[in-house]
A and B are shown apart, each in its own frame.
Chain A
Amino acid sequence: MADCLLTTTRDMAAMPVPPESLQAGRNQYYSTRILKEMLKEVPADALKLLGVTEKDLCIPILTYVFGEAQLGGTVAVVSLARLRQEFHGLPPDRPLFLSRLRKESLHELGHTFGLVHCRSRECVMSLSNTVSDVDGKGSDFCRYCRAMVASGADAGRRGG
């Protein structure tokens, strides 16, 4: 993923999912509340912070989300729950699962670079509400979106 984002990546110690983000009666976690907690934990030298969780995510008005990001901000979160074949009653497929995770992680991080959904189906920024949408789209940014990410990464390096 690091080459797509034109920067370096590193892992951070896990943090607990904030309990107040649990949505009563839905067994799902409110992603916007998770993002709020993550914002408090962003290391000083980090340009962006991506959270990865097993929990199924939602926002109150939608039945589920694969992830959420601060548009043009710092933090993003993706959920593993619905990216697994098992969730859809199918046998496990690890390579497919990892490919989906990579796409959704890039997608949410793309939002933190200010990118909105891209009309190109080849682009990882194209809208995907279902796993078949995720599988159908490309695994990298299109030329236009990559340029936006590059200028964001440059500004980050300059400390802007």
Chain B
Amino acid sequence: MEKEVNILVVDDEEIVRDSLGGWLEEDGYGVEAVESGKKALERLPERSWDLMLVDLKMPGMDGIQLMDEVRKTHPDMLIIIMTAYATVDTAVKAMKKGAYDYFVKPFNPDDISLTIRKIVDHHRLVKENLFLRKELKKKYKLHDMISKNEKMLEIFELARTVAKSGSTVLIQGESGTGKELLARAIHDESPRADAPFISVSCASLTESLLESELFGHEKGAFTGATAIKRGKLELAQDGTLFLDEIGDISLKLQMDLLRVLEQKEFRRVGGTDLLPITSRILAATNRDLQKAIDAGLFRADLYYRLNVISIHLPPLRERREDIPFLVDHFVGKFNIEMGKEIQGVSEEAVRALMNHDWPGNARELRNVIERAMVVAKEHIITEADISLSVPPGGGNHRTKSLEEIEKAHIRLVLSENQWNVARSAQVLGIDRVTLYNKIRKFDLKRETIAPKT
């Protein structure tokens, strides 16, 4: 019978086969015992064997010859050599040939138990590792992205097609719509799947930091550059470089990036050598780049360079029919992660979820479900478990766009900091250039001058 761990015993002595077989079965292993190397080779394809216990001296094919034969088809097979001849020579020879261990007959039961347990534990870790890797990969496969929405299905189809090509893709959509998830899925469906997927969030770094993050720098390129640093462009070699929030980078970096994309070569900051670019570029933004171009904040030529293939992810409120599927998906996912057994969501709760506007899109939905599962007392998530965000200040904010709220917030922070741009940028968590751009974009002006005393 095929067990979790299967051991093949090869020994020409019947008494050894019988006694070792029975003893190993008491330990819960699947055991098969055969009398010759020839028989062993016949049995090899029948099960997925984890370990072979092989007698060294056998008529015909001896243990070491058998080991050589097995390695031809099963190079990773773990083999323990058994022998009645306690000579250092044979031990050394067997170990050199790649035997996992070496036992002199009769064995001390404790030695062999511990060795096999060690192998089994190791084996379990390897299996678990493989499983987790697969799970991790699966997470980003397109067929695991969930939608019944026609527009989304078209997007998946397009993504599957473009994945095969090396073209640059620009993914646009509100935050939380799954831009990075789609980028990862494109990477994983592409021939580059085994190479790295490197993601850079362009909005979170200052101009100079982003520059050295992307291109890397040579030792001594600037104060603090004490060692050579490889940039993300280099790290994504043969893989995919995902530039998130591309709409937030400064005009200077836009120019640098354009040049690099055109010439397919770059230099590290402070470096002289030209390095080739072998990674594929995917970019994403939640901004309307067309508007940004009109406002002079984004270079049209870079836009056209990035926008070879354009994918626009619709917000969740435009594909409400997906909400129940996403809810099921998140409940299942968190059941596993939290070790819970939530069966689903009550009808009233589903209605509430369907009626919400989801400014934070699928990410917001995921967070709402995660929270609900933490607080849920029953096996069903009820309306009371669901906490939906209402914009601050009540109803009239519902009609305001994100941009209007952003503008008001920037004005507030600037006036709180007496229009000190550096300090305000720090408070807002963006770089100075971005803040200057926003001031220009929103046409913000200093209204009152703080009286000097």
What are 21 A-B pairs at a CB distance below 8 A? A32-B22, A60-B19, A61-B15, A61-B105, A62-B19, A62-B23, A62-B106, A62-B107, A62-B112, A63-B107, A64-B109, A65-B109, A68-B22, A71-B22, A71-B25, A71-B26, A116-B25, A116-B28, A127-B113, A129-B108, A130-B110
For residues 8 through 46 of chain B, which have their beta carbon under 8 Å from a beta carbon of chain A?
13, 15-16, 18-20, 22-23, 25-28
> How many angstroms from the CA of A127 to the CA of B29 in the assembled complex?
13
| Interchain nearest-CB distance for A149 vs B (Å) | 15
| Interchain nearest-CB distance for B263 vs A (Å) | 61
Residues of A within 8 A of B82 (CB): 61
> How many angstroms from the CA of A69 to the CA of B106 in the assembled complex?
20
| Residue of A62, A127, A130 ringed by the most chain B CB atoms within 10 A | A62
Residues of B within 8 A of A63 (CB): 106-109
For residues 54 through 80 of chain A, which have their beta carbon under 8 Å from a beta carbon of chain B?
58-65, 68-69, 71
B20 touches A61 (CB 8 A): yes
> How many angstroms from the CA of A63 to the CA of B104 in the assembled complex?
10
- A interface bracket (residues with beta carbon within 8 Å of B): 10 to 19
Given contacts A111-B26, A116-B26, A62 and B108 within 8 Å (CB-CB): yes
A157 at the interface (CB under 8 A from B): no
B residues with CB within 8 A of A: 13, 15-16, 18-20, 22-23, 25-28, 82, 105-110, 112-113
| Residue of A32, A61, A63, A71 ringed by the most chain B CB atoms within 10 A | A61
Residues of B within 8 A of A32 (CB): 18-19, 22
> How many angstroms from the CA of A62 to the CA of B105 in the assembled complex?
7
| Interchain nearest-CB distance for B166 vs A (Å) | 50
Residues of B within 8 A of A59 (CB): 19-20, 22-23
Contact of B27 among A60, A69, A116 (CB under 8 A): A116
Given contacts A32-B18, A32-B22, A71-B22, A60 and B106 within 8 Å (CB-CB): yes
| Interchain nearest-CB distance for B152 vs A (Å) | 46
For residues 75 through 134 of chain A, which have their beta carbon under 8 Å from a beta carbon of chain B?
111, 116-117, 127, 129-130
> How many angstroms from the CA of A116 to the CA of B106 in the assembled complex?
23
| Residue of B26, B28, B106 ringed by the most chain A CB atoms within 10 A | B26
> How many angstroms from the CA of A61 to the CA of B19 in the assembled complex?
7
Residues of A within 8 A of B105 (CB): 61
B109 touches A69 (CB 8 A): no
Dominant SS among interface residues on chain A: loop
The 9 closest A-B pairs by CB, nearest first: A116-B28, A59-B19, A129-B110, A129-B109, A61-B20, A62-B109, A60-B15, A63-B106, A117-B27
A residues with CB within 8 A of B: 32, 58-65, 68-69, 71, 111, 116-117, 127, 129-130
| Interchain nearest-CB distance for B56 vs A (Å) | 14
| Interchain nearest-CB distance for B28 vs A (Å) | 4
Using A59-B23, A60-B19, A62-B106 as known contacts, list a sample of 13 further A-B pairs with CB atoms less than 8 Å apart, ordered by residue number in A. Answer: A32-B19, A59-B19, A59-B22, A61-B20, A61-B106, A63-B106, A63-B107, A63-B108, A68-B22, A71-B22, A111-B26, A129-B109, A129-B113
> How many angstroms from the CA of A63 to the CA of B112 in the assembled complex?
11
B15 touches A69 (CB 8 A): no
Residues of A within 8 A of B26 (CB): 69, 71, 111, 116-117
A127 touches B19 (CB 8 A): no
| Interchain nearest-CB distance for B36 vs A (Å) | 18
A61 touches B107 (CB 8 A): yes
Whose C-beta in chain A lies nearest to the C-beta of B11? Answer: A61
Given contacts A127-B113, A129-B110, A129-B113, A60 and B16 within 8 Å (CB-CB): yes
| Residue of B16, B23, B25 ringed by the most chain A CB atoms within 10 A | B23
> How many angstroms from the CA of A96 to the CA of B15 in the assembled complex?
34
> How many angstroms from the CA of A117 to the CA of B113 in the assembled complex?
11
> How many angstroms from the CA of A3 to the CA of B342 in the assembled complex?
40
Residues of B within 8 A of A61 (CB): 15-16, 19-20, 23, 82, 105-107
> How many angstroms from the CA of A39 to the CA of B359 in the assembled complex?
77
> How many angstroms from the CA of A140 to the CA of B228 in the assembled complex?
63
> How many angstroms from the CA of A63 to the CA of B26 in the assembled complex?
17
Whose C-beta in chain B lies nearest to the C-beta of A31? Answer: B19
Whose C-beta in chain B lies nearest to the C-beta of A116? Answer: B28
| Residue of B82, B107, B110 ringed by the most chain A CB atoms within 10 A | B110
Whose C-beta in chain B lies nearest to the C-beta of A58? Answer: B106
Residues of A within 8 A of B19 (CB): 32, 59-62
| Interchain nearest-CB distance for B54 vs A (Å) | 13
Residues of B within 8 A of A60 (CB): 13, 15-16, 19, 106
A117 touches B106 (CB 8 A): no
Whose C-beta in chain B lies nearest to the C-beta of A111? Answer: B26
| Interchain nearest-CB distance for B381 vs A (Å) | 33
Residues of A within 8 A of B109 (CB): 62-65, 129
A117 touches B28 (CB 8 A): yes
Residues of A within 8 A of B27 (CB): 116-117, 127
Residues of A within 8 A of B22 (CB): 32, 59, 68, 71
> How many angstroms from the CA of A111 to the CA of B26 in the assembled complex?
7
Whose C-beta in chain B lies nearest to the C-beta of A35? Answer: B22
| Interchain nearest-CB distance for B301 vs A (Å) | 65
> How many angstroms from the CA of A116 to the CA of B18 in the assembled complex?
17
> How many angstroms from the CA of A68 to the CA of B108 in the assembled complex?
15
> How many angstroms from the CA of A73 to the CA of B387 in the assembled complex?
60
Whose C-beta in chain A lies nearest to the C-beta of B3? Answer: A116
> How many angstroms from the CA of A127 to the CA of B27 in the assembled complex?
8
